[in-house]
Structure 1
Amino acid sequence: MFPDTHLVSHSISARGPFFVLRIPLDEVGARQFLLAPNRTLLRRFFLSILTKTYMDTPFVLEQLYEAPLAQVWHALTEQDQLRAWYFPQLQEFKPVVGFEFKFTDEGSPYQKEWRVTQLVAGRKLAHSWMYKGYPGSSEVTFELVAEGNKTRLVLTHTGLASFPNDPHFARRRFENGWQQILGSNLKEQLKLPSLD
């Protein structure tokens, strides 16, 4: 399961064998764990591995909207539409690769730094998702597929593991946020009559 894992040392005591494993997590470093017959220690070890794997796995959410592709694309790429369903703090947006989103500063310690990273007209929009003053960089990709008069949107959010171990950056927060944004906010926005 972990090919680069190796035994660093071992010993025998009255309580049983103890092992120290070295497990590489990335190119920067590795973690060492003392493994013993102690169930709590083993549980912590495996939970840390599972948590890392869980955070490394891209978050993917699909939604089917009762709206034509052109209408959904308009909601994804028009500044006033984005402000209505995505982020009310959005001040300026242009669907151009390299464009940096501009947001109002409401004094939050988690100020967004986003930049358009990919654009395929009518099909795909991606942007980076970072926070000023915090390590980590993720990417959000919206992909659209027409299904008759309906549109399937596939959202993929990668790089969540790059953020600090802090409740604000917890994967569950992102998952819940995306379900609200796409499953409710955008769905309701697409029901409104278009003014364009």
Structure 2
Amino acid sequence: MNFNNISMAQQTLISEAVVLEQTFNASVEKVWKAITNRDDMAQWYFNMDEFEPEVGFKTQFNVHHDGRDYLHIWKVVEVIPLKKISYEWRLWEYPGNSLLTMELEADGDKTKLKLTHEKLETFKPAIYPDMARENFVAGWSHFIDTALKEFLEK
């Protein structure tokens, strides 16, 4: 990305995004199913009553972590089957609305996944330390580098 034509404020917001890439020994179809099928997602990600990879679909589910409950509220905003899914990500008791995007790219018989979680600053981490960027980095690293990899390659 060329930073020469954007303001320092924009650069700061871009640098706040969490971006992770991982290549899996699995087909695009298998990875797509793992990130969009509720039953598969429950095995490596979050367990929710329902999830549909359809624009406009909304869901909410609770995550209990470190003695606290975090009610997640998602709204699917973009779907390109086998390539990309994006959803707004909010938390009930916190300000803000972030955007999570997972993009897939075939690499022979492997699949490259790029995860981008942006607008984290809207969660006001200076006021709510559990919403700090490093917590999202740690969580996504676990999900993508460990849990999803193990699920796909077992």
* Same fold (TM > 0.5): yes
Equivalent position amino acid for 2:97 in 1: S
- Residue deviations 1:34-72 (CA, integer Å, cap 9, x gap): xxxxxxxxxxxxxxxxxx937853211100001111110
**Aligned ranges for residues 3-22 of structure 1 at < 5 Å?**
none
1:162 corresponds to 2:122: yes
Structure 1 equivalent of residue 4 of structure 2: none
Structure 1 equivalent of residue 138 of structure 2: 176
Q: 2:86 aligns with which of 113, 121, 126?
A: 126
Q: Which has the larger radius of gyration?
A: 1
Q: CA deviation at 1:167?
A: 1.7
State the identity as a percent: 38
Distance 1:175 1:55 in 2: 15
User: Structure 1 residues 176, 145: closer, same or farther in 2, change over 3 A?
Assistant: same
Q: Which moved more, 1:107-116 or 1:135-144?
A: 107-116
Q: Verify the 8 A CA contact 2:73 2:90 in the aligned structure 1.
A: yes
4+ residue runs of structure 1 moved beyond 4 angstroms? 104-109
**Length-normalised TM-score, structure 2:** 0.84
Structure 1 equivalent of residue 72 of structure 2: 112
**Length-normalised TM-score, structure 1:** 0.67
Q: 1:69 aligns with which of 7, 28, 32?
A: 28
Q: CA deviation at 1:133?
A: 3.0
Q: CA deviation at 1:147?
A: 0.3
Gaps of at least 5 residues in structure 2 are: 1-8
Q: CA deviation at 1:152?
A: 0.2
Gaps of at least 5 residues in structure 1 are: 1-24, 27-51
Equivalent position amino acid for 1:79 in 2: R
User: Structure 1 residues 185, 145: closer, same or farther in 2, change over 3 A?
Assistant: same
Q: CA deviation at 1:159?
A: 0.2
Q: CA deviation at 1:105?
A: 7.3
